[in-house]
Structure 1
Amino acid sequence: MQQFQQKTDITIKNSFLQTQFIDWRTQPKSFKTYPKFFRRYHLDEFEELKFIKDFGKITDKKVYGNEEVVLRVTPSAGGLYPCEIYIQIRGIKNLLSGVYHYEPLNDSLTLIHELSNDGLEYYFETDSKKFIFLISNVYFRTSWKYENRAIRYLLLDTGHQLGAICSALKKEAIPFDFSFNFNKKRLNEAFGFEEQEFFQGAILVDNGKDTKYQNLRERLVTVSSTDYFIKNPFLEEFSKLLENLIFDEIKPLHLLDDMDKKCIQRSIDKRRSIRAFEKKPITKEEFDFLTKDIFERSKSLGIEVFFINNNVKNLELGVYKNVNLISKGDFKGLSTRLAFNQKLGESSCFTLIFTSKKESNLFQDYIISGFLAHIINLRATSLDIGCSGIGAFFDDECQRNLKTTNNILYLQAVGR
């Protein structure tokens, strides 16, 4: 795993060697759509399923010249949205038990496989579930722009998507479990992905039944996730490693328990990645709310979180490791420099830096970092405070200035 980190580092030296030109006219499509003859169900027809919209729906549209860009409830590196969501559903009145693909463009579920005595539970080696939410990555959507470094953004985007699903389930008081150690290889084959798409993680919701099921009785129809596709051997090697990688068991992280249903819904609907801050301060009380349980929970999961305090009242300026001040002073300039010279770094009230030790499960650490960042994003939105994830940063400069050999995973700027 460490080779994937080293080969995708951004350093001051290699940043001058990057000459890639982006022709936005060639961007692959960011929505997977099954043919028209597949049966579809609009989510508004099922009160029990409306919550599904809250982890994938379109919340805004912007126009740049002749191009319309749609924004969703989850952030995504470069706005490329590589995650697709598949849902197995059992026991909903007037809905066939089956495997569905969620289509954000029209908030509908497309039936891609009707269940009989088979089911996705077979690949998880578990008994009957009411819902199985599966997250896949369409890697070319991201590698088109970011080339090999796309592996980092795929993992982070998956973490954000998991955070979005968990927040929607939390809002409805639906208990769930994470799952990463299912048979990804066989499931990728069963879904007909043809190595253009691959599963990353899943969330399971129990239905209280101990029924066992067989593997899917037929291979699903292969449908391209993009309008064109360019193979990337480095990304394919990454996906093959994921198929066999054993993840640590992760228990549900109860990080939104102090927010009620209306507050979570408001945050889901209003969440937006900010592009600039007004450099207004936040209070220490607001900082504590935004980061509630984050330092403690991240540490228990093998993540070490640093942060640079630029503008939090009643909190000493400087660099912190977890909650401990390690370097006192004004580091606004450093915040910008580390963040690939992006001004968001210095204008933020604080900038979080997610890191992990080199001997840990690197891929899992990226996903967890994206998940934790999503929770902070929702908390910030509830206070009308802005957030922006920063995936482009100088790995070597972060390590040197933080005096750590940890892998640098993600930066998140938070402020007004």
Structure 2
Amino acid sequence: MPHSKISGKAYHDLSKHSYLSVQVNPNYVDAATQPTSFKVYPRFYRRLQLNRNNPIHAFLWLTSAITLEKIYKDSPYKLRVNPSAGALYPTEVYVQMRGVEGIIDGIYHIEVENNCLTLIYELIDDGLENYVIPNKCINGFIFLVSCVYHRSSWKYQDRSFRYCLLDSGHHLGAIAASAYLHENNIQLRFDFDKLTLNADLGFENKEFITSCVISGEVQEKPVRRLRLPIPFVCGTDYFQVNQCVEDAYQTTSLQPSHQQKLEHPEFNFDRERFLENVWNRRSIRRFQKQSISENIYWQILQAVRQPIPTENFEEIEIYSVVHDIEGISPGLYKNTHLIKAGNFREKTGYLCINQAIARDCAVTLFFVSDYLSYQTAMQLAGFVGQRVYLFSNYWGIDCSAIGAFYDDETQAFLETNKDVLYAMAIGK
């Protein structure tokens, strides 16, 4: 199929893994060629250093903060509140602030590496509202999540569009976690004019908007489009085109989502403990085949299934392959319904491309969807994945995300005709 015809379903099929495809293309990369993972605007842009003692600054900072620095094979790695496939971090966050005390009305880039806001555009009577929520004016915050896709396609090639969308969903989850801790309501938006906004933000073909988060007071007032062009700054030190990714993004940006009534989740976590949990979240690379309690498992799933605050929606169904949960027989489940009993440790390890974490954990989760909008479905899978991370860790359970699996064989094992979008492993 020509790339220009790639729909969400067609792209998902084109980017599938199989036992043969992984053997033919094991996807080795030269680590020395990895593109930079931090976007920094030129030094002459105005910057505001984030002060964590300021509640507004703390809210913004925690959406994207670096939480750990370590050395791996003589190279520094800076891990963040949002997990990312391969720790490649293709996502960037921009935030428009209007009517926020002590901050100039404008569009800012959150400069993660230097813990500051970079003012890239000053507002007058224009703004992002015209693109994402027409005929409204937001006094507060409009977050834009974008992907510098070459950071991911450098390693994952055509399949990288999946990871860009999943990573965007995780970043949305990080924004939602910070909003919860700072008692701010949010609304996620996926259906808006992304292509025009990309052009007006000057992103060329090297970066693209995936989603939006609104937090603030909505007023009935039209706001015009950005009156001036924004100079382009590349988010990597070099760039290589992946036409499959670019065409898939263009086509899937035009696919509308299912719609639902906006509902907000109602969590009751201890905020101090939850903050510590957000700060210490890590992807676990090894499990010890230990059991977890049935009570904690159900608490995790019930919290994960709380409403997602968006009107643009695709249902994410969760299949659980239970290996070792006290009081629950091993087997494949959909919600509480047992589909088939048995010890499937070796099977799930094989399906997840022989990753031991899928074999040795207490339960392996698979997310599936029958979607209209591929972009929305994949980002919501990442958003739900971020919830699994945070809520598992809150109750002392470890977690790791899995984006690589044999697609068709996994679908057959789950006995579903819906696309498999993501997998998660939780345990001790």
Confirm or deny a common fold (TM above 0.5): yes
Q: Determine the structure 1 residue equivalent to 2:5.
A: none
In structure 1, what is the Cα distance between the partners aligned to 2:48 and 2:393?
31
Stretch of structure 1 that moved more, 189-198 or 375-384 = 375-384
Q: Determine the structure 1 residue equivalent to 2:349.
A: 336
Q: Percent identity?
A: 34
CA 1:268–1:397 in structure 2 vs 1: closer, same or farther (change >3 Å)? Answer: same
Q: Determine the structure 1 residue equivalent to 2:296.
A: 286
1:7 aligns with 2:14: yes
Aligned pairs (5 A) from 1:21-60:
21-44=28-51, 46-60=54-68
Report the alpha carbon displacement of residue 208 of structure 1 after superposing the two structures with TM: 4.6
In structure 1, what is the Cα distance between the partners aligned to 2:358 and 2:26?
24
- The two structures, once aligned, show a CA RMSD in angstroms of 1.8
Report the alpha carbon displacement of residue 245 of structure 1 after superposing the two structures with TM: 2.2
1:390 aligns with 2:396: no
Report the alpha carbon displacement of residue 296 of structure 1 after superposing the two structures with TM: 7.8
Which runs of 5 or more structure 1 residues have no equivalent in the other structure?
A: none
Q: TM-score, normalised by structure 1?
A: 0.95
Aligned pairs (5 A) from 1:344-383:
344-357=357-370, 360-383=372-395
1:121 aligns with 2:129: yes
In structure 2, what is the Cα distance between the partners aligned to 1:352 and 1:283?
16
CA 1:243–1:360 in structure 2 vs 1: closer, same or farther (change >3 Å)? Answer: closer
Match of 1:188 among 194, 198, 208: 198
1:402 aligns with 2:414: yes
Tell me if structure 2 keeps the 8 A contact 1:172–1:261.
Answer: no
Partner letter of residue 414 of structure 2? L
SS at match of 1:71: strand
Partner letter of residue 87 of structure 1? V
Partner letter of residue 283 of structure 2? S
In structure 1, what is the Cα distance between the partners aligned to 2:73 and 2:314?
44
Tell me if structure 2 keeps the 8 A contact 1:167–1:256.
Answer: no
Q: Determine the structure 1 residue equivalent to 2:95.
A: 87
Q: Determine the structure 2 residue equivalent to 1:146.
A: 156
Tell me if structure 2 keeps the 8 A contact 1:356–1:362.
Answer: no
Partner letter of residue 25 of structure 2? Q
CA deviation map 1:113-164 (0-9, x unaligned): 0111111111120422110000001111100000000011111111111111
CA deviation map 1:264-319 (0-9, x unaligned): 21221111111111222110011011111545869x94222111111110111111
CA 1:270–1:296 in structure 2 vs 1: closer, same or farther (change >3 Å)? Answer: closer
1:96 aligns with 2:104: yes
Tell me if structure 2 keeps the 8 A contact 1:128–1:206.
Answer: no
Aligned pairs (5 A) from 1:157-306:
157-249=167-259, 254-255=264-265, 257-294=267-304, 301-306=314-319
Which runs of 5 or more structure 2 residues have no equivalent in the other structure?
A: 1-7
CA 1:225–1:296 in structure 2 vs 1: closer, same or farther (change >3 Å)? Answer: closer
Tell me if structure 2 keeps the 8 A contact 1:256–1:375.
Answer: no
Q: TM-score, normalised by structure 2?
A: 0.93
CA deviation map 1:69-125 (0-9, x unaligned): 110001101101111000000122221110000011121100000111111111120
SS at match of 1:315: coil
Partner letter of residue 24 of structure 1? A
Partner letter of residue 408 of structure 2? D
Stretch of structure 1 that moved more, 251-260 or 359-368 = 251-260
CA deviation map 1:144-188 (0-9, x unaligned): 000000011111111111111111111212112111122211110
Stretch of structure 1 that moved more, 121-130 or 51-60 = 121-130
CA 1:279–1:253 in structure 2 vs 1: closer, same or farther (change >3 Å)? Answer: farther
Q: Determine the structure 2 residue equivalent to 1:414.
A: 426
SS at match of 2:226: coil
SS at match of 2:318: strand
CA deviation map 1:206-260 (0-9, x unaligned): 3253332211110101001100000111011012113322223466664561213
Tell me if structure 2 keeps the 8 A contact 1:307–1:350.
Answer: yes
